[in-house]
A and B are shown apart, each in its own frame.
Chain A
Amino acid sequence: MITNQRIRLYEQTTLFDRVGEAIRPGGMALTDHALNLCDLPSGSRLLDVGCGPGAAMAYLSDHYDYQVFGCDPSAQLLQTAYHHGVRSVVRAIGEQLPFASAKLDAIMTECSLSVMQNAEIALQEFARILRPDGYLILNDFYVRNPAGMAAMRCLPVDSCLGGALPQTDIIRRIERHGFRVMVWEDHTDALLIFTAQLIWRHGSMQKFWCRASSHADPMQVQTAIAQAKPGYFLLIAQKGGRDG
C-alpha cells in the first residue's frame, strides 16, 4: 500500500541493531580511511553533520585528538547520543548550522547530505563555516544508473536512496559551492556488505522493508533500487576552488 505518509528510515535504529557499528555502509573503517587522507593536525575542530546517535562522534573522541562536534535534526537520535555519553551535540539542520564562519577545520557528513531537504543550502553553510582549505568529507549513496533515478525519488521512505544523484552531478554540485574535489572513491562493496548484514539480521530485504515501513510497498522499493543501481562513494573536497 502506498500513502503520502513518509517514513524516516534513519530514525528506526532498532532495524539496524546487530548490523554494524553505524547506520551506514563502511562503518568506522571508512571514517578512519577518510581522516587518514585528510591528515588533520591534533586539536582540529571537526563537525559531524547528521551525527545521529553519535556512534562516529564517540569513536572519534576515543581514537583521535580532535575537538568533535555534532548536529542532527532528530531529537530522538540526539537523545540516544546523550545516553551514550556524547555531549557536544546540538539540534540543527544542515541548512542552518549554529557555528561561526570559517572556524571549523573539517566537516564530515556521512550518509546525510542525501536526506537533507535542501542540499544546495547545506553546502552553502558548509562553505561558510569551514576555514579556507578546510575539508569536506562526504560519504553517501550515488546512482549508478541515472535512468532509474526517478523511481527512487518517488519512494515513500526518507533515506539516503531518495536523494542520491549520479557521480557527475554530485561533483558538479560540490564544486559549484567553492570546493575543489580531491578524492572520489567508489565504496559500493561496503554497501553490498551492509546489505548482506541487513539480510542476515532480517531474513531478506523484503522483510527489512516491511519492517521499515507499513506504507512502503517492498516490491516497489526493491524494483526502484534494482533500476537505479545505487552505489556508495567517499568524496573529499577542500574549501577554495580554482577561483577561490
Chain B
Amino acid sequence: MSEQEQVWMCDNCNIPLQPDKVDVAYMGNAFPVELLKCPNCGLVFIPEDLALGKMVEVEKQLEDK
C-alpha cells in the first residue's frame, strides 16, 4: 500500500481506506476500476484530480457516442 493510500481514513468508521474494485457507472455504462474504499461501510474516496481529470475524459467519451 502506498504512503498516500495509508493516509486516508473513513470519516464514518475511523479505519483506513483500502484499494478495492469499484464499478464506475455513467450513462448506463459501467466498468470496474480500483479505488480507495472503506472495508467496513463501502465509502469510496475519489480524489479531486481524478474527478476533474480521467473522470471528465470518460464522461466526454461516453457522451459523444
Contacts and interface: CB of A to CB of B under 8 A. Distances in A.
Interface in B18-65: 24, 28-31, 33, 53-54, 57-58, 61-62, 64-65
Given A188-B65, A192-B62, A196-B62, A203 B57 contact: yes
Contacts of A226: 64
A200 B54 contact: yes
A23 B54 CA distance: 21
Contacts of B30: 193
Contacts of B65: 188, 192
Contact of A195 (B24, B33, B53, B61): B61
Listed residue (A189, A193, A196) with the most chain B CB atoms within 10 angstroms of its CB? A196
B31 A204 contact: no
Contacts, number: 35
Contacts of A200: 24, 31, 33, 54, 58
- Please tell me the size bucket of the interface on A: 10 to 19
Listed residue (A199, A203, A204) with the most chain B CB atoms within 10 angstroms of its CB? A199
B54 A197 contact: no
Listed residue (B30, B33, B58) with the most chain A CB atoms within 10 angstroms of its CB? B58
B29 A193 contact: yes
A79 B31 CA distance: 30
B57 to A, nearest CB: 5
A134 B65 CA distance: 35
Contacts of A195: 61
Contacts of A189: 28-29
Interface in A173-192: 188-189, 192
A203 B53 contact: yes
Interface of B: 24, 28-31, 33, 53-54, 57-58, 61-62, 64-65
Interface of A: 188-189, 192-193, 195-197, 199-200, 203-205, 226
Given A193-B29, A196-B31, A196-B62, 5 more contacts: A192-B29, A192-B61, A200-B33, A203-B54, A226-B64
17 contacts: A188-B65, A189-B28, A192-B61, A192-B65, A193-B31, A196-B24, A196-B58, A196-B61, A197-B31, A199-B57, A200-B31, A200-B33, A200-B54, A203-B57, A204-B54, A205-B61, A226-B64
